[in-house]
Structure formats: structure tokens, C-alpha cells
Structure 1
Amino acid sequence: MAKPKLKCGVVGVGSLGQHHARIYASLPGAELAGIFETSDARAAEICAKFNCKRFTSMEELGAACDAVSVVVPTDKHAQVALPLLAQGCHLLIEKPLCASLEEAEQVLAAARQHGCLVQVGHIEHFNPVMSYLEKHTGRPQYITTERLAPYQTRGTEVGVVLDLMIHDIGIVLALVKSPIRKIDSVGINVLSKTEDIANARIEFENGCVANLSASRMSLKKNREIRVFQDNAYLSLDFMNQKGHLVKKSDIIAYGLKLKVGLAKAGEDKVPVHEIPIEKGEPLAIELAHFIESVRAATQPKVGGALGKSALEVAITVTEQIRTNQQKG
């Protein structure tokens, strides 16, 4: 007998929330019960497009739904999440989990109290690129990340660290799996009240160093990571879902071929492998995982603990930036 579909809702159907609604409306195990949206025009547009109900209050939405996506500005996350958790709704909260650690702790405590799952929308963890990294990254010794985006007013209620860099913080924490020893950060406010460009150097207890750069003042979009370890170098592009790999074993094999005279004329001394990545829509993979986690009552891949850890690092970075700016 087929399980009944999970009744899902979305709070906030702006540029990102509309895609949550679209995917819930198409997922086999889900039913888009409805949305809560303050804009009349936007609500009418989304309800017409996906044949769903506009709830007049979050309480009404919470009563009708098993699972809800919270896709509102970061500073409103706790305000929206806490009453929904009290109604027993499982939540996918877009990253970052909250605007402060105090609010994050309140949300996670409420989730425990009411027996609800909280998944944090660190979408890159569901990018096929991340799946490849998780399988092929052993003991990274040096990692660089670059995340660039053009300036837009959406998201500027927080700085670029909480807006963009937090993606890469979560990725690095998941790959390195070691306590942090030291963080050094720099950032500059350009058009916003908070930093628009930032760099953080993170040293881990196991010796790995990660250098993270983020900017929302770029003319182009870019989301890349490079991982250096004792047996390989990986360079991957999250946006275009592609990359390449250089393996130490291939270089050793080439050296042996050269030694015995079997290397072909003009053969590259550093064999570079294009990485075969099966492309997919990360948000669809993420929401399908959320639905399955709720159905199976299992902790999601990006649960509250990782969401809170990434937030803690991001806040440390932003506080260092603020302190350095005040000194200047």
C-alpha cells in the first residue's frame, strides 16, 4: 500500500521560495498544500501556477502541513520557525539557520521539544559535485574556495559571509572533519552596511588549511573549490557541475613509462582527468531528501548540528571583520 503524500507548505515564495513550491508540486511523495506570502500579487501568481492554496496565516498553514520550507530573510527565520515547530511541523530552513547563535539554539531546542526534524538549506551539499568530493576527498591538506556573485539588494540583510561564504564553510567543515584551531578574516563594506567582500583563512587541528573568498560585487558568477591532498588535486565547479582531477599515481606511472622508454611523444607529463559528474538540480535533490528524512524519521544530511556549526564559524568571521574595521 502506497504511503500517503506528505503535505508540504512554503513560507515566502520570492525568487527562491517559488522553486520550493514548484518542486513540492512535482515530487512524487509530496503534495503542495499551500503557501504563506505577504504579497497579494505574488501569492496569486504562485497559487495559479501550482494550483495550491494561499493560507491567511502561518498558523493556518502549520495546521494543514506536515513539512514546511522557511524561505524568508535570515533575520526572520526564528520568528517564522518557532511557531511552526510548536505546531509539530518538520522544517527545511534556508541557510543560514538563523541570524544569531542564540536564535539557532532556540530553534533547535524547539525542534527537540516537539519531536520535529530541522534540515538547513545548505544546497551545495546536494550538488552532484559534493557527492563526488565526499567520495574522492581523503585527507585534504589545503582547500581554496571562491564564490562570486553580482550585487543585488536581496540578501543584504546579512553580510556576504552569511549570505554566500557560509555555503563553503559548511562544505569545508564536512570535508575536513576536524576541530578548528584558528580563523583569520578580512572584509570590506562597499555598497552595504555589512561586508560585501570577505576572505577567511581557517586552520584546522589536523593541519589542513582552508582559504575561503566570497564577493557579491562581481560582474560574473563563480562557485569553485580546489582540494589538495597527498595523493591528488581536485578542481571542481559547483555552478557548471564539472571539474578535473590529477592523481599522483598517474604521475608515478608516467615516470615509469618514461624510464623504460614507453612514453609517447608529446604525452602530457601531468595526466588530467575530466570528472564525469551526473548533473542534477540540487534543490530538487535537497527537497526529495528532506521529504524522505521526514518519512523515515531519520536525521537529514544537513541537520541542525551542521547548520549551527557553519553559522558559528560564519559569525566568528563576521565579528573579526567588524573588529578589524573598527580598528581601522
Structure 2
Amino acid sequence: MIALKCGVAGVGYLGQHHARLYAALPQTELVGVYDVDARRAKKIAAEHGTRVFSSLEELGAACDAVSVVAPTDYHCAVAQTLLAQGCHLLIEKPLCSNLEEAEIILAAAKQHERIVQVGHIEHFNPVMSFLEKNVTDPRFITCDRLAPFKQRGLEVSVVLDLMIHDIGVILQLVKSPLERVDAVGVEVLTKTEDIANARLTFANGCVANINASRVSLKPVREIRVFQSNAYLSLNFAEQKGHLIRKTKLGLRKKNVPIEKGEPLALELAAFAEAIQTRVAPKVDGQLGKTALEVALQVTAKIKESAAKGK
């Protein structure tokens, strides 16, 4: 199969890894990069022996597919430009900043008959593959996603920056309508929430409790799932964990057999495969929009809780 001609729009901290993997994967060819910071674009292009494009339009015209790794508030404009050029897109999470922009992106993708995949990377973590096979009737889920403070992703709150990862994972595992959202959050170092807690209640009775922080001393990415026959505790970062089952002799614990892999490489390979086979990606634009909608409900509840506390 002919390699897809791929590009990257935005080669900051995360975009540089998209470029690295497009250059390395057998099913993709890194055609070039674009960034508003010309010096940065030149540096990343030189590392992979590719070219720098002077505009999004030029990048789009040369590519079959592009990763959009710009700040969230630019996603909609960048996506529209590249879709008009006929590119399939992988848009880093969150899909965009609001539901109106999400509708614009999805409508443009439909108009131009192009695939939009959203970069909810944990869906391609081998841990998620194990969860999808073993979580059958979740009753209670807890997620902790903590990260040290960094000077990036600050155009959105911690809910859209970090918690949205776990929102997407939970929606995929529970597969039931969301009935209630409760949430609290606080500002610490920025003008939006840096620490947040959300409680999601689903129609089937499942409850999920999510903690997110971007002002922690050490990173944590963990999930625990409780169901009638088992308790699963898994670490997304270390790609390991354990499963406890109830047997006639009592509780039995065993380590989870996970074949480790780089989630971003798996995500980009799946993106390429979706384009080449013309099948819907695992995390399509609609799922990205749904996760965004829930994340926005969480931020609205945080504002409501803060207003009540005054």
C-alpha cells in the first residue's frame, strides 16, 4: 500500500512527536510541517529531513492527511483551511473550544468527505484495549490524572486539558446515557480551573468519579473499575495493573498481561489505516464532540458551584 503523504500543523511539544512518528511509520511519509514560529518549524523539519511550508494552504495542498496540533482555540480555523484543501485530519484533543466550532468542523468534514479523528490518545493505550475486553458491567469508576505545571495547554482549563481524556475513556466503557453531572474546581496558577473533580452518573446506575490536576508534583494516570465480578486497577502511564476476581475460594488477584506500546504511534497508525481502508476511526469527530460536550458540562457545573460558594 502506498504511504500516505502526511504533514503536521503546529510542531510544539506534542507536534514534534507527530512529525517524528510520521517520518518513522511504514504507512506514512512526512511531507512537511508548518508552524507560526518559523524557527521552530525549521528545526523540526531539519531533524527529519523534510520541508517547511510557508502557509497552511501550501501544507494542505501537498498532503493526504495532517495532524492539527495547534492551540485549541485555533483548531476550528486550521481545520476548515485544511479540509478545504482535501486533507483528512487528526485533531488533537479537545476537538475545539466549544460546540459551535465542533459543528463547523464536522460539517466541513462531511462536505469535503474527509475523515476527522480526534486525538484522545488513551483510547490507543494498550491499557484501554484490556479494559474494553474485560469491563462488561461497570458500577463505579475512579480516575486520577495529575500532572506537574507546564507552560502549555493553558488556553483551556484542566477539564479540557486533562480530564477530557478520562471523560472519553469512561463514555466508551459505560455506554449509557449521562444523567447527572456534579463538579467542583479551583484556580491555582491560571485564570481557569487547575484542579477539578467531577462526578458523572449514568442511566444504567454507573457512577464515575474523576480527579484532574495540572499543579501536582508528580504525574499520575490511573483508573479503577468496579463491577459485579471483578475490580480492575490499571496505570495508563506504566501500562500495567491488576485484576481481582471473586472465586469460590475468595478473592483472587492477578497481574494484567499488557503488551506495551507507544500510544501515539498506535494512534497515528490507526489514523492512517482508517484513511487507507475508508473506515470510521476509533475516535471519530462525533465521539470527540460528545467528550467535549460532557467536559463543557463539567466546567459549567464548576462555575455554578463557585457562584453558590460566594
TM-score range normalised by the length of the shorter chain: over 0.9
Residue 117 of structure 2 aligns to a residue whose secondary structure is strand
Sequence identity of aligned pairs in percent? Answer: 63
Is 1:291 the counterpart of 2:268 in the alignment? no
Distance 2:41 2:293 in 1: 34
Shift of 1:273: 0.4
Give the residue type in structure 2 aligned to 1:111. Answer: A
Shift of 1:77: 0.4
Could you tell me which residue of structure 1 aligns to residue 61 of structure 2? 63
Distance 1:4 1:225 in 2: 39
Q: Once superposed, what is the RMSD of the aligned Cα atoms?
A: 0.8
8 Å Cα contact 2:198-2:210 kept in structure 1: yes
Q: 1:145-172, CA deviations, whole angstroms, 9 ceiling, x for partnerless residues?
A: 0000011120111000000000000000
Could you tell me which residue of structure 1 aligns to residue 238 of structure 2? 240
Is 1:304 the counterpart of 2:302 in the alignment? no
Residue 99 of structure 1 aligns to a residue whose secondary structure is coil
Alignment counterpart, residue 319 of structure 1, candidates 297, 300, 310: 300
8 Å Cα contact 2:23-2:48 kept in structure 1: yes
Give the residue type in structure 2 aligned to 1:276. Answer: P
Q: 1:162-206, CA deviations, whole angstroms, 9 ceiling, x for partnerless residues?
A: 000000000000000000110100000111110000000000000
8 Å Cα contact 2:92-2:118 kept in structure 1: yes
Q: 1:283-304, CA deviations, whole angstroms, 9 ceiling, x for partnerless residues?
A: 0000000000000111000001
Alignment of 1:178-217 (within 5 A): 178-217=176-215
Shift of 1:40: 2.4
Give the residue type in structure 1 aligned to 2:293. Answer: E
Unaligned runs of 5+ in 1: 256-269
Shift of 1:29: 1.2
Q: 1:47-84, CA deviations, whole angstroms, 9 ceiling, x for partnerless residues?
A: 11101110010000000000000001111100100111
Shift of 1:136: 0.4
Residue 271 of structure 1 aligns to a residue whose secondary structure is strand
Alignment of 1:44-83 (within 5 A): 44-83=42-81
8 Å Cα contact 2:246-2:252 kept in structure 1: no
Shift of 1:305: 1.1
Segments ≥4 residues shifted beyond 4 Å:
none
Could you tell me which residue of structure 2 aligns to residue 29 of structure 1? 27
Give the residue type in structure 2 aligned to 1:93. Answer: I
Distance 2:12 2:106 in 1: 25
Alignment counterpart, residue 89 of structure 2, candidates 88, 91, 95: 91
Is 1:9 the counterpart of 2:2 in the alignment? no
Give the residue type in structure 1 aligned to 2:290. Answer: S
Distance 1:194 1:325 in 2: 12
Could you tell me which residue of structure 1 aligns to residue 252 of structure 2? 271
Normalised by the size of structure 2, how large is the TM-score?
0.98
Question: Which deviates more from structure 2 when the two are superposed, residues 33-42 or residues 162-171?
Answer: 33-42
Residue 252 of structure 2 aligns to a residue whose secondary structure is coil
Is 1:112 the counterpart of 2:93 in the alignment? no
Distance 2:299 2:38 in 1: 36
